Structure formats: structure tokens, C-alpha cells
Amino acid sequence: MAESNGDWLRVRGIGRERFAGYVAEYLASIGFKVDRSESAEPPVSSLAATLVKMSPSVPPAAEHLTFRIFPTSGGAVVLWDGPTEVPAAERPRMDRLVREMESHLERSVFTESHATAKIVRPPVPHLPWMPAPAPAADPDPVSASL
């Protein structure tokens, strides 16, 4: 489920509601107006952010961002819902924005939790505009030659 929907980040040691607060605070600090909603069934925190204060670090494709945050055992997972497409010319700026968000969230979680919680980045992050990871190569050379 998560991988096909943009499994972007995981956090261990804090719950989804608290982590949703960190994401919302960061987005607000860089010029977004954030609408947050919570649902009990299924348990999910939804964030919809609209850029209201122009920033050169935010590419036009990122003026509207949406995320869903689900609980996991011992933490939460963030699914990146939107934008799903980024023009090729804007991808370097979008990649930089994503890296800045990850770094800020990592520092915030680490600092506020007194190093008991941490961000876990997947080895191959799945963001909607990125190509799907290639399937693993067959480790058995004999079956490959058949």
C-alpha cells in the first residue's frame, strides 16, 4: 500500500499526530498555509499545504502539497500524495526542497525527542514523480542463461 502511494519517510519513537505537527510546523515556517485534518477510522493525519508567501526555494510545482501520515508499530509513515508530477526543469529545485524538508524534520525529531526518536529514510525513497525502482537483478547466473 505505502510504496505505491509514495512512501516517503518513516519515523520511529513518536506517533503520527505528533509527527504531523512537525511536518505542518515546517511547512508553515517556509510560507505555506497548512490545513490539517485527523480521522479515526482509518487512523490518518492529512495535510494540505498551499504556498501563500513566495519563496525562491519552492518550485512552482510545489505550490500545493498534500501528505497523509499513518501510524505504524512504533511510529508513523508519511505518504507524499501531491504533487504527483513535476516538470523536468523543476526537478532539481523539487529535489532540493525534499532534501531540506527531510533534514529539517530529522533535526526537529532528534532534538525534541532528546534523541529517542528518529527519521528513517527508505533506501530508495518513493516519491510520485520519481521513476519506479528497477527490479533486483537475478543473483543466479545459471537461471539467467537458461
Q: What is the CATH number of the domain that holds 45?
A: 3.30.310
Continuous H helices in 1-146: 16-29, 91-112, 141-145
The C-alpha atoms of residue 72 and residue 12 are separated, in whole angstroms, by: 9
Whole-prediction pTM value?
0.81
- What was the pLDDT predicted at 6? 54
- What was the pLDDT predicted at 3? 40
Flag whether 143 is in a domain: no
pLDDT, one tens digit per residue, over 65-101 is 999 999 988 899 999 998 989 999 999 999 999 999 9
Q: Is the pLDDT reported for residue 63 higher than 50? A: yes
Mean pLDDT over the full length of the chain? 83
The C-alpha angle with vertex 91 and arms to 68 and 23, in degrees rounded to 5, equals 30
Question: Model confidence at 145, in pLDDT bands (50, 70, 90)?
Answer: very low
Higher pLDDT, 129 or 63: 63
Question: Model confidence at 1, in pLDDT bands (50, 70, 90)?
Answer: very low
pLDDT, one tens digit per residue, over 94-117 is 999 999 999 999 998 888 767 788
- What was the pLDDT predicted at 19? 92
Structural domain that includes position 35: 3-125
Per the structure, the count of domains in the chain is 1
Flag whether 130 is in a domain: no
Flag whether 146 is in a domain: no
**DSSP 8-state class, residue 1:** -
Amino acid at site 145: S
